[in-house]
A and B are shown apart, each in its own frame.
Chain A
Amino acid sequence: MTASATADSLISLAARERRGGRLSTATMLTGPATIFVTIGLLIPILILSRYSLNQFVPGKLMVEALTLENYVLFFTDPYYTTAFYRTLRIALTVTAICLVLALPLAYELARTQSRFKNLLIMLVVLPLFVGNAVRAAGWMTMFGNKGALNFALQWIGVTAEPVRFMYTEFAVVVGILAVNLPYVVLTLQSVIESIDRSVEDAAFSLGAGPFTMVRRVLLPLALPGLAAGAIFCFILTMNAYATPVLLGGPEFVMMGPLVYVQFAAKSNWPFGAAVAVILMSATLLLTAAANLMVQRRYRT
């Protein structure tokens, strides 16, 4: 009796010790990375938010204050509101087109039995890692007055005069679209791959046409992936930098370049911080809204 009680308490002691040991191991292993990301990311974002409430006095850079005037300035000055709404509009346009274009390629990649599948995936991933500036350079080669596109148009005879593509919204949308497509394709591909192929066959054998199958079976099942892809695409477009700078030119202001100019050229840290906070909040808010919509859709 007493012996077994002692044994029990010994066992529980050993278990507790093991649990304690495990916890300290966990602290040791995750500690450095956790501390690094906390100090290197969370605290900087807090400082940034604090900066956005400071005052900018020309000649004295930044004066400590607690004011909303940077935010008021942003939402009352038409120059900035134009940039804001333009960025939102382009983000929505690009996201919509991106989903439509990405779906067929994602489906083919997910369902292909080809031994070149890995090569095809590499071809989608490669542009991702090459950098936005290099890809913008490719579009610049095509969009110039003597570029490939104008040459092709004149050769066919559509137009005699060169059409201006550079520094237009069209160029920016095309450029960002190409930047974001790989992300969306890869997200959709992994979701479609996880959907059992037999549900598609079931739909077909029950008499559904390809379009009905996609609309009634594939899309509802792939909805979380579609949402994730769309959100990713939206965030990327809201924060695009290289593409609007290179293909939109200096007159075509979007949010990303706006933040950089405030910091680098104008040294207006408080206003730059406020624009960055607005950019971050708008991104997070719309992302959360999209998430919520998908969840509600699922409950009903």
Chain B
Amino acid sequence: MSALAIADKRRLGRWALAGTAGVTLGFILLPLIFVVWLAFFRQAIPSFPPQGYSFMWFLSIADNPRFVDGFWLSLQVAVAAMMIGLAIGVPAALCLARYRFWAREPIGNLLLLPLVVPGIVLGTSLYVFHVEATIVTELPILGSVAGLVAGHILIVIPWSVRLVNASLAGFDRSIEEAAQNLGATPMTTFFRVTLPTIRPGIVAAALFGFVVSFGNLEMSMFLVGPGRTTLPITILQYLEYRIDPTIAAVSVLQLLLIGAAMIFTDRFVKLSRVV
């Protein structure tokens, strides 16, 4: 009887746990569900219940140059920052994972720092830095696309270090030694043994770097020049005045882009292992 009661209690506890977990997951997803819903409303204001559904808001995005321009700038900045960030981040990650030297830990911490410093502080710091750099070099650095890209490289680096490191965990170094014993030059060893091993990490770093840069708001706000904004800033500025199906449709497109990037990444590196 009492054994039964304990079993009942445990089953009840398990259901309660799963229920609470489900509620939390629902809570996390709720705002996204409503944004997607709103994008298909027929009326122009978010009043419930909806008076019908329509696709027209998606078509009207193309007529809105603010969103189109913002999208292109975000895309260009994200691609540039991702490529440069990987070019300097991946070698550093490789080195930190392989070699033991005195500066290893401080450098490792330094390269992860941009992830810890809050976006607002990062933005203000870079802003005053660009002000000083503009005065010293007399080049138009403040508000330039180059300055924006440099800022974004800063937030791509920690992700590439982290993801390449994760892909090297559990890698057996003796495989490299074996290759060299069999007569491979260091170059051949790198291209034929090491690189294939870290390829999933590099792909994941590329996609995460792209997504993090593409979605960045707080830092970018300080770095964009007059009349030039990235997509997240455009979305924020629009929402400060009103919420309507147009902005929801823009959000849905962003959601699809990022979702696709994530599913693609997941084929190379299991997300549950790296985030």
Write the residues of chain A forming the contact surface with B, with a CB cutoff of 8 angstroms.
Answer: 22-23, 25-26, 28-30, 32-34, 36-38, 40-45, 47-48, 51, 101-102, 104-105, 107-109, 117-118, 120-127, 129-142, 144, 146-148, 150-152, 175, 177-178, 181-182, 185-186, 204, 209-211, 235-236, 238-239, 241-242, 245-246, 255-256, 259-260, 263-264, 269, 272-273, 276, 279-280, 283
| CB neighbours of B125 from chain A (8 A) | 41, 44-45, 47-48, 276
Distance in Å from the Cβ of B255 to the closest Cβ of chain A?
6
Asked if residues A178 and B28 are in contact (CB atoms below 8 Å), the reply is yes
How many angstroms between the C-alpha atoms of A272 and B121 in the bound complex? 10
| CB neighbours of A138 from chain B (8 A) | 30-35
Nearest 4 pairs of A and B residues by beta carbon: A138-B31, A239-B118, A44-B125, A29-B95
Asked whether B113 is an interface residue with its Cβ less than 8 Å from the other chain, the reply is yes
Asked whether B24 is an interface residue with its Cβ less than 8 Å from the other chain, the reply is yes
Asked if residues B150 and A137 are in contact (CB atoms below 8 Å), the reply is no
| CB neighbours of A33 from chain B (8 A) | 88-89, 91-92, 111, 157, 161
Contact digits for B28-71, partner A, Cβ 8 Å, 1 yes 0 no:
11111111011000000111110000000000000000000000
Q: List 22 A-B contacts (CB under 8 A).
A: A29-B95, A30-B107, A32-B88, A33-B91, A36-B88, A37-B113, A40-B154, A45-B121, A47-B132, A105-B24, A125-B271, A126-B262, A127-B29, A137-B31, A137-B248, A140-B239, A141-B31, A141-B34, A152-B48, A210-B9, A241-B221, A256-B218
How many angstroms between the C-alpha atoms of A148 and B49 in the bound complex? 8
How many angstroms between the C-alpha atoms of A41 and B109 in the bound complex? 13
Extra pairs beyond A105-B24, A121-B275, A122-B263 (12, CB < 8 Å): A25-B95, A30-B92, A47-B128, A108-B21, A127-B29, A131-B217, A131-B254, A178-B28, A185-B28, A236-B118, A239-B218, A273-B124
Asked if residues B20 and A132 are in contact (CB atoms below 8 Å), the reply is no
Whose C-beta in chain B lies nearest to the C-beta of A210?
B13
Asked if residues B34 and A129 are in contact (CB atoms below 8 Å), the reply is no
Asked if residues B21 and A130 are in contact (CB atoms below 8 Å), the reply is no
Contact digits for B241-275, partner A, Cβ 8 Å, 1 yes 0 no:
00100011001001100110011001000111001
Within 8 A of A (CB), among B103-160: 103, 107, 110-111, 113-114, 116-129, 131-132, 150-151, 153-154, 157
Asked if residues B128 and A273 are in contact (CB atoms below 8 Å), the reply is yes
Asked whether B101 is an interface residue with its Cβ less than 8 Å from the other chain, the reply is yes
| CB neighbours of B29 from chain A (8 A) | 123, 127
Whose C-beta in chain B lies nearest to the C-beta of A193?
B272
Asked if residues B272 and A118 are in contact (CB atoms below 8 Å), the reply is yes
Distance in Å from the Cβ of A260 to the closest Cβ of chain B?
6
Asked if residues A241 and B119 are in contact (CB atoms below 8 Å), the reply is yes
With contact pairs A33-B111, A48-B124, A242-B236 given, residues A23 and B243 touching in the complex (Cβ less than 8 Å): no
Asked if residues B124 and A133 are in contact (CB atoms below 8 Å), the reply is no
Asked if residues B232 and A133 are in contact (CB atoms below 8 Å), the reply is yes
With contact pairs A33-B111, A34-B110, A122-B263 given, residues A239 and B120 touching in the complex (Cβ less than 8 Å): yes
How many angstroms between the C-alpha atoms of A109 and B150 in the bound complex? 37
| CB neighbours of A134 from chain B (8 A) | 31-32, 35, 235, 251, 254-255
How many angstroms between the C-alpha atoms of A279 and B254 in the bound complex? 31
Asked if residues A48 and B128 are in contact (CB atoms below 8 Å), the reply is yes
| CB neighbours of B37 from chain A (8 A) | 141
Asked whether B83 is an interface residue with its Cβ less than 8 Å from the other chain, the reply is no
| CB neighbours of B211 from chain A (8 A) | 129
How many angstroms between the C-alpha atoms of A81 and B113 in the bound complex? 29
Asked if residues B48 and A239 are in contact (CB atoms below 8 Å), the reply is no
| CB neighbours of A186 from chain B (8 A) | 275
Asked if residues A178 and B27 are in contact (CB atoms below 8 Å), the reply is yes
With contact pairs A129-B212, A134-B35 given, residues A283 and B94 touching in the complex (Cβ less than 8 Å): no
| CB neighbours of B49 from chain A (8 A) | 151
How many angstroms between the C-alpha atoms of A47 and B127 in the bound complex? 10
Asked if residues B96 and A239 are in contact (CB atoms below 8 Å), the reply is no
Distance in Å from the Cβ of B254 to the closest Cβ of chain A?
6
From A132, A141, A245, A259, give the contact of B248 (CB < 8 A).
A141
Asked if residues B48 and A148 are in contact (CB atoms below 8 Å), the reply is yes
Most chain B beta-carbon contacts within 10 A, residue among A129, A137, A141, A178:
A137
Whose C-beta in chain B lies nearest to the C-beta of A232?
B116
How many angstroms between the C-alpha atoms of A26 and B232 in the bound complex? 38
Most chain B beta-carbon contacts within 10 A, residue among A105, A124, A185, A204:
A105
How many angstroms between the C-alpha atoms of A269 and B266 in the bound complex? 43
| CB neighbours of B182 from chain A (8 A) | none
